[in-house]
């Protein structure tokens, strides 16, 4: 891997068909994100929707927001908009204040103990925000507790709560920020100070507060005249989200391989006066950027079911419909002294790898970890404490239950987007879903990377790509625009041939 092995770097591989983002700490990929233009994410978007069905038995409702499947709204995510929505539509100064005790540090509010049928009715128009992407056969999860994230702050226009990121641990700084927000915020608005806001001065906080409130007013005005259902505010794209959420002062540099996206980042940074322009670099190398930084190897590792530990033990990660199971095994490790010591060492080593893999793969929902059985209660406590400590750096919220006597740990990890496995792979039709194949889109994109490599190694007038017939059809149809862009980028023609004897994941690249 190139670059400083002691640095923290944000590496972005940007193409029109796909954006891939890797956060690299000390030479290791700790976060990996993918967004494809054909199926761009909707998490964070605001929609003007219509309630199509209220389900008292489930204390939830289905809301039409204009997507293929109706969105799902739990009663705990319903802000009482029966009186509020009309006021929002006419552009009021802000919602009525909710008691501070109804909001926690992460703005998780409840619905005053009301029943869903007391808050919503069929045909009602409501303003909602997507809190979780559609996954599998499930529609998006939405909330009517709206929030607008900025660099340092999150505006909550339907609450008056002031929250400070739990990652800001210094009590004096927490007190300073809380007093500053209390002084500067207009009446009726709630704010959360994000981790990046630690140390922010008065002017930076005031400027971002004004920006977010103006943005909220624009959303109000847009919603007032919008049809139902419709999108009224779109979250930032993958590149700018990475700049906003990941490009902190702890990141030494951001490297991107696309000129247009590079300029967009510089403009965004200038708008927010972040002073990070000198830390942004445009990679003009001919070698694919993820190859240069060794990230492709880490992605492949993130798709493996079995992950080996340095000691010779290993963990197995298995995803099901209901949960993700992680199994810890001693494998080839036999220890040096006694069995209990060997098991403890393996479990402690597994803790670090599990925390890393959860973050890298973006695994969310219910997770059950089956550690190797330990006889001593003190050892079980050591492993539980180590797991909590290892997950402290995870940006996603986690909740961990105590370890059982059998070595089982149940935990949850907040997920708003598909995990890497579900995004990059699909059920295998060769084995009727018992295993997995790379998705057809992923095969196309991997072929594009190989074409770029071959073009660099063997300059020629044209390059031949031989693929399975199904992949050829996709290349000449849905991926046609991406193929055209690639030919323009390489300055040569790509000739595609098919071979029905090839495996779906297989392809050949040859230069003239």
What tokens does 205 get? 């906080």
Q: In the prediction, which pLDDT does 458 show?
A: 77
Cα 380-386-390 angle, rounded to 5 deg: 150
Instruction: Provide the 8-state DSSP code for 464.
Output: E
Domain 439-511 has CATH 3.40.1260.20: yes
CA-CA distance, 223 to 267, in Å (whole number)? 27
Kindly report, residue by residue over 452-461, the tens digit of the pLDDT: 988 888 777 7
Q: Which of 10-19, 143-152, 415-424, 489-498 has the lowest mean pLDDT?
A: 415-424
- 8-14 and 18-25 beta bridge pairing: antiparallel
Check whether the bond before 229 is cis (ω within 30° of 0): yes
Please check the confidence at residue 405 and state whether its pLDDT lies above 60.
yes
Q: 142 versus 336: which is more confidently predicted? A: 142
- 462-467 and 507-511 beta bridge pairing: antiparallel
Q: Which of 130-134, 319-323, 416-420, 470-474 has the lowest mean pLDDT?
A: 416-420
Q: In the prediction, which pLDDT does 334 show?
A: 62
Indicate yes or no: pTM above 0.75.
Answer: yes
Please check the confidence at residue 85 and state whether its pLDDT lies above 90.
no
Q: 28 versus 261: which is more confidently predicted? A: 261
Cα 9-10-16 angle, rounded to 5 deg: 150
The average pLDDT across 481-502 equals 92
Burial pattern 233-245, b for ≥16 Cβ within 10 A else e, equals bebebbbbbbbbb
- How many Cα neighbours within 13 Å face the side chain of 297? 7
User: Average pLDDT over the chain, rounded to whole?
Assistant: 86
Starting from the edge strand earliest in sequence, which strands make up the sheet with 306-308, in order? 306-308, 314-319, 324-329, 365-370, 408-413, 398-400
Please check the confidence at residue 369 and state whether its pLDDT lies above 70.
yes
The average pLDDT across 369-393 equals 92
What tokens does 161 get? 């709560």
CA-CA distance, 33 to 23, in Å (whole number)? 9
Q: In the prediction, which pLDDT does 286 show?
A: 85
The average pLDDT across 249-253 equals 88
CATH of domain 46-233: 2.40.50.140
pLDDT band at 112 (very low <50, low <70, confident <90, very high): low
Q: In the prediction, which pLDDT does 96 show?
A: 29
Q: Which CATH architecture has domain 8-40+237-297?
A: 2-Layer Sandwich (3.30)
Q: 423 versus 219: which is more confidently predicted? A: 219
Alpha-carbon torsion, ordered 331, 336, 340, 345, to 10 deg: -60
Q: In the prediction, which pLDDT does 219 show?
A: 95
User: Do residues 65 and 142 make contact, with C-beta atoms less than 8 angstroms apart?
Assistant: yes
Closest CA to 254 of 484, 502, 8, 504: 8
Place of tokens 């992605």: 299
pLDDT band at 299 (very low <50, low <70, confident <90, very high): confident
Q: 41 versus 413: which is more confidently predicted? A: 413
CA of 272: how far to CAs of 163, 299, 429, 443, in Å?
22, 32, 48, 38
CA-CA distance, 504 to 499, in Å (whole number)? 10
The distance of Cα 497 from the centroid of its chain, to the nearest Å, equals 36
Domains of the chain, by residue range, sit at 8-40+237-297, 46-233, 304-420, 439-511
């Amino acid at each position: 891997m190139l670059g400083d092995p002691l640095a923290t770097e944000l590496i972005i591989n940007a193409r029109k068909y796909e954006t891939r983002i890797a956060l690299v700490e000390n030479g290791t990929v700790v976060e990996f994100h993918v967004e494809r233009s054909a199926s761009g994410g909707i998490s964070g978007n605001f929609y003007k929707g219509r309630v199509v069905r209220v389900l008292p038995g489930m204390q939830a409702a289905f809301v039409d927001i204009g997507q293929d499947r109706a969105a799902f709204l739990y009663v705990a995510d319903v802000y009482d908009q029966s009186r509020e929505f009309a006021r929002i539509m006419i552009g009021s100064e802000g919602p009525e204040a909710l008691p501070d005790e109804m909001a926690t540090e992460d703005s998780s509010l409840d619905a005053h103990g009301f029943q869903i049928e007391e808050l919503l009715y069929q045909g009602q128009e409501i303003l909602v925000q997507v809190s979780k992407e559609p996954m599998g056969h499930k529609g998006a999860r939405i909330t009517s507790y709206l929030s607008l994230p900025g660099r340092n702050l999150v505006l909550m226009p339907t609450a008056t709560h002031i929250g400070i990121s739990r990652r800001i641990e210094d009590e004096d700084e927490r007190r300073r920020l809380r007093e500053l927000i209390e002084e500067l915020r207009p009446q009726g608005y709630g704010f959360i100070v994000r981790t990046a806001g630690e140390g922010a001065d008065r002017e930076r906080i005031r400027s971002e507060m004004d920006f977010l409130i103006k943005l909220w007013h624009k959303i109000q005005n847009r919603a007032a005249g919008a049809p139902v259902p419709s999108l009224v505010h779109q979250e930032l794209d993958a590149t700018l989200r990475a700049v906003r959420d990941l490009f902190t002062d702890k990141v030494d540099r951001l490297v991107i391989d696309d000129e247009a996206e590079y300029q967009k980042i510089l403009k965004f940074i200038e708008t927010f006066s972040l002073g990070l322009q000198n830390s942004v670099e445009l990679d003009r190398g001919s070698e694919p950027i993820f190859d240069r930084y060794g990230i492709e190897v880490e992605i492949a590792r993130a798709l493996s079911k079995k992950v080996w530990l340095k000691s010779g033990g290993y963990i197995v990660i298995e995803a099901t419909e209901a949960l993700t199971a992680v199994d810890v095994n001693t494998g080839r490790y036999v220890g040096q002294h006694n069995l209990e010591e060997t098991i403890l060492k393996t479990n402690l080593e597994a803790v670090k790898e599990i925390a890393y893999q959860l973050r890298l793969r973006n695994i969310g929902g219910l997770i059950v970890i089956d550690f190797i059985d330990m006889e001593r209660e003190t050892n079980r406590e050591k492993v539980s404490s180590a797991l909590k400590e290892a997950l402290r750096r995870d940006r996603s919220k986690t909740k961990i239950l105590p370890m059982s006597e059998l070595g089982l740990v149940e935990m949850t990890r907040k997920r708003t987007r598909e995990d890497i496995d579900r995004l990059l792979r699909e059920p295998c039709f060769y084995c009727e879903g018992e295993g997995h194949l790379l998705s057809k889109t992923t095969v196309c994109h991997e072929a594009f990377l190989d074409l770029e490599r071959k073009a660099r190694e063997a300059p020629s007038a044209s390059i031949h790509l031989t693929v399975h017939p199904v992949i050829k059809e996709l290349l000449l149809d849905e991926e046609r625009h991406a193929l055209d862009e690639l030919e323009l980028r390489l300055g040569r023609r790509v000739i595609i041939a098919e071979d029905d004897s090839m495996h779906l994941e297989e392809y050949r690249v040859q230069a003239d």
